[in-house]
Amino acid sequence: MRHDEVPLDDILNAARRATSYIAGMSHHAFLRDAKTRAAVLFELVIMGEAASRVSESFRDAHPELPWKRMIALRNFYVHAYEVVNSDLVWVTLTRYVPRIEAVLSLLLPPEPPTDDPAV
């Protein structure tokens, strides 16, 4: 698990950022907002790349996470960017990403508290 903490943390943080980008946003507004679509795609790419860096033994031990889907989506978004369907990105973002975030929140240790109020 120690080796896997960094990519797992990357997946969790990317999922949190992606969902924060659409907080309060409708599907229609998402489709009209090119910056948000681009930002979300970038976070989904990070999630897939980080998923590919998680050890196979950890992935096998946690089949509740869609490892293959995350990795496949990353590859698709990077290599077939010209045919990305924003409606399907929305479905991924609203249906799958919150589940991934919830599972990883339970698997990863909480962030240690800091004494620095600026952090």
State pLDDT tens for residues 33-45: 999 999 999 999 9
Number of domains in the chain: 1
Q: In this structure, what are the phi and psi dihedrals at residue 116, rounded to the nearest 5 degrees? A: -85, 115
| 75 has a pLDDT exceeding 70 | yes
Whether residue 117 is contained in a domain is answered as: no
Quick one: average pLDDT of 80-98?
A: 93
Domain residues for 30?
Answer: 5-107
Whether residue 10 is contained in a domain is answered as: yes
Q: What is the pLDDT of residues 24-72, one digit of tens each?
A: 999 999 999 999 999 999 999 999 999 999 999 999 999 999 999 999 9
* Residue 119 confidence class, pLDDT cut points 50, 70, 90: low
Whether residue 50 is contained in a domain is answered as: yes
Whether residue 119 is contained in a domain is answered as: no
CB pairs under 8 A, 24+ apart, for 73-80? 73/44, 73/48, 74/44, 74/45, 74/47, 74/48, 74/49, 75/48, 77/41, 77/44, 77/45, 77/48, 78/45
Whether residue 84 is contained in a domain is answered as: yes
